[in-house]
């Protein structure tokens, strides 16, 4: 199965006066990178979540955000006595400044002082978070299953596109082979004409040396090796696409090898038809490389 590196899933739940929401998303990445955002006051939560994600994802930049909140009827508030003292001192300072200016201020009510930021603190109850952690972790497999389902669905589309592109490369390699007889005839005519001009203007030229130079030219112009390697890469690409497990890195390397052979083919073409096929090859290979960047 081919999986995409991009995916998203979300979940929510409640437990004993608490509510929580979780979102997991991933984008392309060179390796595996997990950003985990979870409440640090739930003991052991992050340490348990991290291996659960790592067991499902081999490559990509993954973000898992978990938010936990107390429901309204379960909230508790406590008085911050230090903040209360500061608030009272502040009220006295304001009253004194007003008196100096000849202003009369009404006495503040208790609720006014309690409304000053920091005087009343609300937050998580300081009881055992173990049951809450257990409830949250119990929901994670379903979240990760949904995440995997989306990545697998996108991966199936990527696999279909890659198969089509590999087939296109194979067809173009076959077209390139079909041009070789015509290319060989044209190159033979060109070399014969060149040789005739050389021998006419180079009296006493060593026939053996001329033959050696012609052999070197013929070897440099031969593209059979490049076509054979392209065919081998096609076979390797099909095996990778059909295989199990992460394959993005290997496919990325293979598309670089495809591109190298296509570049060499274009450089050695010396034939309009073969040049066009080489350019078409480069175009298809570039499309493959774009798709491979999304494969896990």
Instruction: DSSP for 188-250, please give it.
Output: HHHHHHHHHHHHHHSTT--HHHHHHHHHHHHHHH--HHHHHHHHHHHHHHHHHHHSSS--HHH
pLDDT-derived band of residue 98, with 50, 70 and 90 as boundaries? confident
Reference 33, options 75, 63, 12; nearest CA is 63
| Alpha-carbon gap, residue 96 to 252, rounded angstroms | 74
Domain boundaries, the chain: 7-73+127-151, 81-118, 154-292
> Per the confidence metrics, is the pTM higher than 0.85?
no
- Residue scoring higher pLDDT (185 or 32): 32
Q: Mean pLDDT, to the nearest integer, of 146-160?
A: 96
**What pLDDT is attached to residue 179?**
92
**What pLDDT is attached to residue 193?**
67
Listing from the earlier edge strand, what are the strands of the sheet with 7-15?
7-15, 18-27, 60-70, 32-37
**What pLDDT is attached to residue 74?**
44
Q: What is the pLDDT of residues 169-197, one digit of tens each?
A: 999 999 999 998 888 887 776 666 666 66
Q: What tokens appear for 175 in the block?
A: 């077209």
At residue 218, what are phi and psi to the nearest 5 degrees?
Answer: -65, -40
Q: Mean pLDDT, to the nearest integer, of 279-291?
A: 96
Q: Which CATH class is domain 7-73+127-151?
A: alpha beta
pLDDT(224) > 90: no
- Residue scoring higher pLDDT (112 or 128): 112
For residues 44 and 52, the answer to whether their CB atoms sit within 8 Å is no
**What pLDDT is attached to residue 204?**
58
**What pLDDT is attached to residue 110?**
84
Q: What is the pLDDT of residues 61-72, one digit of tens each?
A: 999 999 998 875
Q: Tell me which residue has tokens 């898992």.
A: 64
Q: What is the pLDDT of residues 37-61, one digit of tens each?
A: 999 889 899 999 999 999 999 999 9
- Residue scoring higher pLDDT (218 or 34): 34
Q: Identify any residues that bridge with 35 across adjacent strands, giving them in sequence order.
A: 63
Q: Mean pLDDT, to the nearest integer, of 236-257?
A: 94
């Amino acid at each position: 199965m081919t999986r995409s590196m991009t995916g998203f899933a979300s979940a929510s739940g409640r437990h004993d006066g608490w509510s929580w929401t979780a979102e997991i998303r991933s984008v392309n990445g060179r390796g595996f990178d997990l950003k985990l955002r979870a409440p640090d006051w739930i003991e052991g939560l992050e340490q348990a979540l991290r291996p659960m994600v790592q067991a499902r994802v081999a490559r990509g930049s993954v973000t898992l955000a978990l938010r936990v909140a107390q429901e309204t009827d379960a909230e508790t508030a406590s008085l911050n006595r230090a903040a209360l003292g500061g608030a009272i001192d502040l009220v006295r300072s304001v009253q004194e400044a007003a008196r100096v200016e000849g202003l009369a201020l009404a006495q503040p009510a208790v609720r006014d002082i309690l409304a000053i930021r920091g005087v009343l603190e609300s937050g998580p109850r300081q009881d055992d978070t173990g049951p809450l952690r257990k409830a949250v972790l119990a929901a994670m497999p379903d979240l990760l299953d949904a995440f995997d389902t989306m990545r697998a669905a996108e991966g199936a589309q990527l696999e279909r596109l890659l198969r089509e592109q590999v087939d296109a490369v194979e067809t173009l390699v076959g077209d390139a082979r079909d041009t070789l007889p015509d290319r060989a005839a044209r190159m033979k005519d060109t070399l014969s004409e060149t040789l005739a001009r050389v021998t006419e203007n180079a009296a006493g030229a060593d026939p053996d040396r001329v033959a050696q130079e012609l052999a070197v030219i013929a070897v440099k112009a031969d593209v059979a090796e490049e076509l054979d390697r392209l065919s081998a890469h096609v076979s390797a690409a099909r095996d990778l696409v059909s295989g199990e497990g992460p394959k993005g890195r290997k496919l990325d390397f293979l598309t670089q090898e495809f591109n190298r052979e296509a570049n060499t083919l274009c450089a050695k073409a010396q034939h309009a038809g073969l040049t066009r096929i080489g350019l078409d090859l480069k175009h298809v290979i570039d499309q493959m490389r774009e798709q491979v960047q999304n494969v896990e």
